[in-house]
Structure 1
Amino acid sequence: MPVELYSPVCYSLPVSVNIDTRVVSPGDNRYVEEAWQLKERIRQSEDVLKQRRGFFTDAYRRSTVYCYLTDGEGGEQIVGFAAVRRDGYILFLAVNPDFRGEGFGQRLVARVAKNHATVTCHARSTNQNALDFYRHLGFSVERRIDNYYEDGGDAFYLRLGEEESITKRLSDFMRG
């Protein structure tokens, strides 16, 4: 399934904000438009997350989606989200550029790891930020897949888990 993941680059927040956590069950459309808008903002500025709208919304609706939200102009603003299949495969991971460097990407992966024995994903082979992020969390590259994406781009299949409890690893990481 051609998806591309994004990982954070460090930025700092000038003020503190209240963040709410939401879990959206499969079949629920809540926040799909906000997630799409965030994905598109990242795609336009960083040339990653290139999925078509139909593919994105269908995958979102079939996933459990972990969201971080804050009050913004005009209502709730999505800080970041992870759309995850039942088997622990991360379909989408995105963090709003205004909130990067605050650990939201790591916390989203930790939320996924808490509910799954292993966590897997694909990352575009040229997306060094994503690859560095996942390696930093302890993911390993299982294999390279040529022509994985619709545009002919290659991907790496990444896995977290197996040697020791990934929940423990991410918990230790978040404390340290």
Structure 2
Amino acid sequence: MKIEKSEKKDHEVLIEIWEASVRATHDFLQEEDIITLKPLILEQYFDAVDLTCAKDDEGKIHGFCGVHEGNIEMLFISPESRGKGVGFQLMEYAIKNQSATKVDVNEQNKQALGFYEHLGFNVVGRSPLDGQGKPYPLLHMALGKI
């Protein structure tokens, strides 16, 4: 996999990966949450982060990561590519090249929590609501010992 800067032309593929990934890993979300979030991510959130994607030799995108001011704002891997090191490569790039040291993870997303802990992130705080004010608690994590 190559990690490259994402381009605007990639956004349609990225939003498809986002939706497939969310449906595979965020079973606590309601259908209305996904419907509400999808246009926001496509029209606003992608442009608000430093966005990279993991591409294979044929140029197919398998996952993406968005970083803003040292915070990993989004990391989504296509369901068929999960468990194959794509998330690790994107995170390694974000930490080494984008100065990423923080991430927020939904408390209900135990797989993501375990993934970030495995990479050396520790829980340093908790918010009862997510960024949209919904009752999906967020765990605030930071890299290294705090």
Deviation at 1:121, TM superposition (A): 1.1
**CA root-mean-square deviation:** 2.3
Q: Which has the larger radius of gyration?
A: 1
Deviations 1:68-126 (A, max 9, x none): 12367xxx4320110111x2211110111211222111111110111244511110111
Higher helix share: 2
The answer to whether the aligner puts 1:67 opposite 2:53 as a matched pair is yes
Q: 2:8 aligns with which of 18, 25, 29?
A: 29
Inter-CA distance 132–162: structure 2 relative to 1 (3 Å threshold): closer
Contact 2:122–2:145, Cα closer than 8 Å, also in 1? no
Q: TM-score, normalised by structure 2?
A: 0.81
* Corresponding residue SS for 1:30: helix
For structure 2, list consecutive stretches of 5 or more residues without a partner in the other structure.
none
1:20-79 deviations in Å (ceiling 9; x for gaps): 43213xxx523111111011112233336846123212111121111112367xxx4320
TM-score by length of structure 1 reads 0.69
Taking every aligned residue pair, what percent have the same amino acid on both sides? 24
For 2:100 and 2:19, how far apart are their aligned partners in 1? 28
The unaligned stretches of length 5 or more in structure 1 are 1-18, 164-176
Within 1, Cα distance between the matches of 2:4 and 2:55?
8
The structure 1 segments of at least 4 consecutive aligned residues displaced by more than 2 Å after TM superposition are 43-51, 115-118, 148-151
Does structure 2 retain, via aligned residues, the 8 Å contact 1:139–1:159? yes
Aligned residues: 138
Which of 129, 152, 161 is residue 111 of structure 2 equivalent to? 129
